[in-house]
Structure 1
Amino acid sequence: MDLSDIRREYIQGGLRRKDLKEDPIEQFNVWLQQAIDAKLTDPTAMTVATVDENGQPFQRIVLLKNLDNNGFVFYTNLGSRKAKHLEHNAKISLHFPWHPLERQVHITGTVEKLSAFENMKYFTSRPKDSQIAAIASHQSSRISARGILEGKFLELKQKFANGEVPVPSFWGGFRVVPSSIEFWQGGEHRLHDRFLYSFSEQSWAIDRLAP
C-alpha cells in the first residue's frame, strides 16, 4: 500500500469573503447547521488539544454541548487528563473535521470553568445512565479490567434506581473563549480557501490565508 497515492479533488465549491458573516460565531452556526442538515455522523464531534506540564500535546474527541457568544462548551471529569492539563495551562485548540462537506474549522483560545449552576443544569438534562456512568468512571485513571467499571456502574444503578443522581463534585464543564477561528473550505488543485478570524481590541479581523 502506497499512502502517497491516496488523494482526491475537492470540488464542492469555494468560499469567498463576501459570503462570510462578520461574526465568526454566526459563521460557525451556519456551517454547523449545514453539517447537521447533511446528516453527518457526529457533527458536534471536535478534537480537543491540550498540553501537559512537559509541553507534550494530547488530543481526543469530545462533543460540543453548547455554543453562544461567550464561547464553546464541553463537559468532562475534572480529574481527567485534559482537565489537569487545563489547570496549569488554560490554552486550548479545537478542530471540527466535516470531511463530507470538505470543510474544517480550527479554534484557538483559553478555557474558563462553568458555574455550579451551569454544571447542574446540563447534568440533570442527561439520560440517567449517562449520569451514573459519570460517577462510575474516574476518567483517565488506570483500571485492571472492564468488569470493575461495569460492576461499579451496576452498583450505582441499583443505588439510584428510585432517586435522583447527584451532580458529582469531580464533574463539570469548560467554556472555550476563542481568540481565533479559522474556516477551511477545500478547493480544486489544492487551492483551498482559508479565512482566519482574529480577536483584537474588542473586534474580529478577517484575513484570507494561503492554502
Structure 2
Amino acid sequence: MDLADMRRNYTRDGLSEESASADPITQFRTWFEQALKADLAEPNAMALATVSPEDKPSLRTVLLKAYDAKGFVFYTNYTSAKADDIEQNPQVCLLFTWLELERQIKIQGTAEKIGAAESLRYFASRPFGSRLGAWVSHQSSVISSRKLLEMKLSEMKRKFAGGEVPLPSFWGGYRVRPELFEFWQGRENRLHDRLQYTPDGEQWKIERLAP
C-alpha cells in the first residue's frame, strides 16, 4: 500500500479573523456545539500530552467533562502515569481532532487538581459500573491478566452492593488553565487557516499562523 497517495482536499469551511470570536472560550464553544450537532463519535475526546520527569513525552486520550473561562476539566486516577507527570511538570497540551469537520483545536496550559467537592459531584453522576471501575483499577500499573480485574470487580460489587460507592481518595479531576489556543481549519491546497490566541493583558491577542 502506497501511503504517499493517501490524501484529501479540505474544502468544508474557512476561519477568518473577522469571523472568529475575540474570546477563545466563546470560539471553542461555537465549534464544540457544531461538533455535537454533527453527531461525531465522542466529540469531547481530547488528546492529553504530558512530559515525564525524564523529559519523555507521553500522549493519551481523555474525555472533557466540563469547561468554562477557568479551564478544561477531565478526571483520572491520581496515581496514574499522567498524574505522576503532571505532579512533576504541570505544563500540558490538549488536542481536539474533528476530522469530519476538518478541524483541530490545540490548547496549552497548566493542569491543577480540582477540589474534592467538585470531583465528588461528578463521581456521583457516573454509572454504577464506572464508579466501581475507579476502585478496581490501579491505573497504569502492570497486572498479570484481565482475570485479576474481573475478580476485583466482583469483589467491589459485593462490597458496594447497596449502591453507594464512595469517591476514592486517589481519584479526581484536573483543570487545565489555558495559556494558548490554536484553532485549525483545513483549507484547499494545504493552505489551512490557523488562528492562535495568547493572553494580552485582560484580552486575547489573535495572530494568524502560516499553515
TM-score, normalising length: structure 1: 0.98
Cα distance, 1:199 vs structure 2: 1.5
Q: Does 1:180 align with 2:180?
A: yes
- Give the % identical residues: 53
Cα distance, 1:161 vs structure 2: 1.2
Q: Which amino acid aligns with 2:92?
A: I
4+ residue segments displaced more than 6 Å: none
Q: Which amino acid aligns with 2:52?
A: D
The CA RMSD measured in Å over matched residues stands at 0.7
Give the match for residue 85 of structure 1: 85
What SS does the corresponding residue of 2:189 show, helix, strand or coil?
A: helix
Q: Which amino acid aligns with 1:14?
A: G
Give the match for residue 54 of structure 2: 54
Contact 2:128 2:163 in 1 (8 A): no
Give the match for residue 66 of structure 1: 66
Gaps of 5+ in 2: none
Q: Which amino acid aligns with 1:101?
A: L
Measure the CA separation in 2 of the matches of 1:32 and 1:135.
31
Measure the CA separation in 2 of the matches of 1:175 and 1:200.
22
Q: Which amino acid aligns with 2:128?
A: K
Larger displacement relative to structure 2 (156-165 or 115-124): 156-165
Give the match for residue 165 of structure 2: 165
Measure the CA separation in 1 of the matches of 2:172 and 2:141.
17
What SS does the corresponding residue of 2:121 show, helix, strand or coil?
A: helix
Give the match for residue 19 of structure 1: 19
Give the match for residue 97 of structure 1: 97
Q: Which amino acid aligns with 1:2?
A: D
Give the match for residue 145 of structure 1: 145
1:137-172 residue CA offsets vs partner (Å, 9 max, x unmatched): 000001000000011011101211114101000001
Give the match for residue 106 of structure 2: 106
1:79-101 residue CA offsets vs partner (Å, 9 max, x unmatched): 00000000010000000000000
